[in-house]
Amino acid sequence: MASKSPFPGMDPFIEARGLWGDFHNDLIICIKRFLNSKLPTRYVARSGERSYIDVVDPDGELLKRRTIIPDVSIHDRAESATIQPVQAVMEESGDESIIMYGTQLEEIRESFIEIRDVESDHRLVTSIEILSPSNKRPNSKGWDEYASKRSDFFAGAANLVEIDLLRGGQRHAMNTPWPDSPYYLMVMRSHQAPACRVWPAYSTRPIHSIPIPLLPSDPDLTLALQPMIDDIYVESRYGSDARYHEMLEMALTDEERALALRAT
C-alpha cells in the first residue's frame, strides 16, 4: 500500500517535483464529486476550463516554468543555461555568434468548478478556483484573464472560492495584506463583495475546512480539503516521486525540513 505524506497539511514536494498538474486535476474531480453528492437538488456542480495560447519565451521566465514549477533550484539553472554559457564562449574564443530562439506558442488549460442553479436557467451561483501557476505569473495571459474574472466576482457577479496551494508565483493584490502563510483559502459571498474571508494554510498543520456558499436562502456546504489531499497523495503514489532525501532549495521552515527528513 502507498504511504501517506509526512506533511499533515499541503505537501510542498508535490509542487516542487513537477506533480502539480496531476494533483490539480484530481482535486477538481474530488471536489466536484463531493459537491454533487451533497448539493440540494436545485444545484449542480460542473467543471469548466479556460483555454488560451501563450507565447513561450525560451530566454526568460516562460522557459523556467517548462521544467518543474516552481523549484527555485531549477529556475536558477535554467537562467544560467540561457545566459552565462554565451558569455563564456565569447570570452574564451572571441566567437561573436549569439543564441536566438524562434517563437513558440503553448496552449494552456485551466480547470475550475462552477455551481449553477438549474431552477434559474443554470445561473452561476459559486465559482471554485484552484489556482494554477499561470494564474500567479504577472504580465502573462493567464494572470490577466484570471484578474479580469476575479474583478467580476468582486463586483458581486457570484460567490467566489479561491484555493491557493502553490508557493510559487505572485498573489493578486488585495486592499488588505495577505496572511504570512505559504497557502491560503478565500471565500467571498456575492452579497458581501468585495469583502472576503481568508484562512491561512500550511504544510505543517491540517488545512482548515471552508464553507461553500450557495444562494442566501440555502445553508453553506462544508468542504473538508485535507482528507481529499491525503487520499490523492496515497492513490496517486506521490511518495515514490517525492524524493524527500533530496532537500529542496525552495524556502522550507525548520519544521518542514524535519518532517521531510522523517520520511527518508
**pLDDT tens digits for 181-219?**
999 999 999 999 999 999 999 999 999 999 999 999 999
Q: Among candidates 170, 141, 132, which has minimal Cα distance to 20?
A: 132
248 within a domain of the structure (yes/no): yes
Identify the domain containing residue 209 by its residue range: 12-54+105-262
187 within a domain of the structure (yes/no): yes
**pLDDT score for 244:** 93
97 within a domain of the structure (yes/no): no
Span 235-250, mean pLDDT?
90
C-alpha cell at 254: 525548520
Note the residue count of the chain: 264
66 within a domain of the structure (yes/no): no
Please report, for the chain, how many H helices and E strands are present, in that order.
8, 8
Q: What is the DSSP string of 35-67?
A: HHHHS-TTEEEEEEEEEEEEEE-TTSHHHHTTS
Domain count of the fold of the chain: 1
247 within a domain of the structure (yes/no): yes
213 within a domain of the structure (yes/no): yes
23 within a domain of the structure (yes/no): yes
Instruction: Please determine, for residue 82, whether its predicted confidence score (pLDDT) is greater than 90.
Output: no
Give 198's contacts (C-beta < 8 A, 6+ positions apart).
178, 179, 184, 185, 186, 187
Range scoring the smallest mean pLDDT among 49-58, 69-78, 94-103, 144-153: 69-78
153-164 as b/e, with b when 16 or more CB fall inside 10 Å? bbeeebbbbbbb
**pLDDT score for 102:** 76
Percent of the chain with pLDDT over 70: 83
Instruction: Please determine, for residue 76, whether its predicted confidence score (pLDDT) is greater than 50.
Output: no
Q: Which of 1-5, 133-137, 206-210, 242-246 has the highest mean pLDDT?
A: 206-210
What pTM was estimated for this model as a whole? 0.81
92 within a domain of the structure (yes/no): no
Span 8-37, mean pLDDT?
97
